[in-house]
């Protein structure tokens, strides 16, 4: 029997979506689902929703819930990580403090000031999670959804190299699906190749029955001037390859957009977008919790295709069904012109033997240059935590393209100190800048 542990199961809507996709596979109907969260109320809601989801799927898994992480992990074959350290309150800090210094962000969970400090408060929990897994389920696969993805995977590779960990994100899938719809081609008939870093990867090839689809995309953009008013289309026109993450994300990994009022207007960039999304997620949870308490049936999940990667990984490794997905893993000979050991996003084949990342070769030089700028921030953030050197926190933010475009060296120093004070005990003692 397969055992799948959910860490951060209190992210109830995402837990429910993953369970729906997992239990869509008949081979997993009798799996053990072990739920863990540090919030007892959220854990109880997640357990109730898990049982409801199983019933809707016609499955009879064994569902257990525990406030003890190690107890939930004991004997697991797969561990799905989706923690959010500090929750909505910490997310607001990540937006409000930089904004007070004049730094604009849209999502704030991957790079920039928000990404760096989200990583710093997440790393200690990753340490504990890795220690628990190596103690009670050393052969389990860690399937990570928690952002900042590249920082988290690069940190785990440095501190827990024996752990079998991969990062999962559906941005490439949805990019291909949306682009294919735009040019009128069924996405399931498309062949594509993508690589780079998570949230800043690139569609290197995109074909239908051997026909390059980029000319059709060019025609669609030419026919609809509104399409050009998006950051990722602007990046595509500048660099020659389409980026795999949304315009909201993409705008804050480069120095060219968020500091300019005119560019924000021209490209319709939604500043502070994730602050509103986070508040909506909290309200959704509260509504679901109240509904369960009153005995109401949870709202339907939706009838979209089962697209999340974690269920596909579990099913392939259990049954031997071969699939190719995108994963974030250390760069051990995968992308030739990105740093060795850096967390990169590449295609990988799944089968009963595991997860097998593909060798990509060299990216086009302009794409690799932009990815290296991204990975500089990742490397310095990880170095800060591994060495316990708070100077590297400042160095990471100094090297962040969007922050460096907005602030002076002195302002960045003061911003890092203000972020440290605002996050307080969520940060490791050694990295609390004074």
Task: Write out the catalytic residue numbers.
Answer: 170
Residue with tokens 């897994």: 133
Q: State the SS3 of 3-66.
A: EEEEECCCCHHHHHHHHHHHHCCHHHCCCEEEEECCCHHHHHHHHHHHHHHHHHHCCCCEEEEE
Q: Can you list the pairs that 224-230 forms with residues at least 24 positions away whose Cβ atoms lie under 8 Å?
A: 229/266, 229/267, 229/268, 230/267, 230/268
Integer Cα distance of 375 and 151 in angstroms: 9
Tokens of 401: 């393209």
Tell me if 241 sits within 8 A of 367, measured CB to CB: yes
Integer Cα distance of 201 and 329 in angstroms: 13
Tokens of 140: 């389990």
Q: Can you list the pairs that 337-340 forms with residues at least 24 positions away whose Cβ atoms lie under 8 Å?
A: 337/362, 337/363, 337/365, 337/368, 338/197, 338/363, 338/368, 338/371, 338/372, 338/375, 339/372, 339/375, 339/379
Residue with tokens 């697209």: 307
């Amino acid at each position: 029997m397969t055992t799948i542990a959910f860490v951060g199961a209190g992210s109830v809507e995402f837990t429910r979506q993953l369970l729906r996709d997992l239990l869509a596979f008949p081979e997993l109907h009798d799996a053990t689902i072990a739920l863990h969260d540090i919030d007892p109320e959220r854990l109880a809601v997640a357990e109730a929703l898990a049982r409801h989801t199983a019933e809707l799927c016609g499955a009879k898994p064994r569902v257990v819930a525990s406030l003890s992480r190690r107890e939930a992990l004991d004997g697991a074959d797969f561990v799905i990580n989706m923690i959010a350290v500090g929750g909505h309150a910490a997310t607001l800090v990540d937006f409000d403090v930089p904004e007070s210094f004049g730094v604009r962000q849209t999502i704030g969970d991957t790079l920039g000031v928000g990404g760096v400090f989200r990583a710093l408060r997440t790393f200690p929990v990753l340490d504990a999670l890795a220690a628990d897994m190596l103690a009670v389920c050393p052969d389990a696969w860690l399937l990570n959804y928690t952002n900042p993805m590249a920082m988290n995977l690069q940190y785990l590779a440095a501190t827990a190299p024996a752990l079998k960990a991969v990062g999962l994100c559906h941005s490439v899938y949805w990019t291909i699906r949306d682009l294919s719809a735009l040019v009128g081609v069924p996405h399931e008939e498309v062949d594509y190749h993508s690589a780079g870093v998570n949230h800043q990867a690139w569609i290197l090839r995109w074909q239908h029955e051997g026909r390059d689809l980029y000319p059709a995309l060019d025609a669609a953009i030419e026919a609809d001037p509104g399409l050009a008013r998006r950051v990722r289309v602007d990046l595509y026109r500048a660099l020659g390859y389409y980026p795999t993450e949304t315009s909201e994300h993409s705008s804050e990994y480069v120095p060219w957009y968020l500091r300019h009022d005119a560019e924000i207007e021209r490209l319709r960039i939604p500043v502070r977008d994730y602050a509103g999304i986070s508040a909506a997620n909290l309200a959704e949870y509260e509504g679901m919790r109240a509904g369960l308490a009153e005995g109401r049936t949870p709202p339907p999940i939706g009838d979209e295709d089962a697209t999340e990667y974690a269920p596909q990984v579990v099913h392939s490794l259990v049954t031997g069904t071969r699939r190719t997905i995108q994963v974030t893993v250390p760069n051990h000979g995968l992308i030739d012109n990105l740093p060795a050991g850096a967390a990169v996003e590449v295609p990988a084949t799944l089968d009963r033997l595991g997860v097998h990342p593909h060798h990509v070769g060299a990216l086009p030089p302009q794409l690799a240059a932009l990815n290296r700028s991204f990975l500089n921030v990742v490397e310095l953030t990880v170095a800060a935590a591994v060495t316990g050197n708070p100077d590297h926190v400042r160095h990471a933010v100094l090297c962040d393209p969007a922050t460096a475009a907005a602030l002076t060296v002195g302002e960045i120093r003061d911003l890092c100190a203000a972020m440290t004070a605002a996050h307080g005990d969520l940060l490791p003692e050694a990295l609390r800048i004074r």
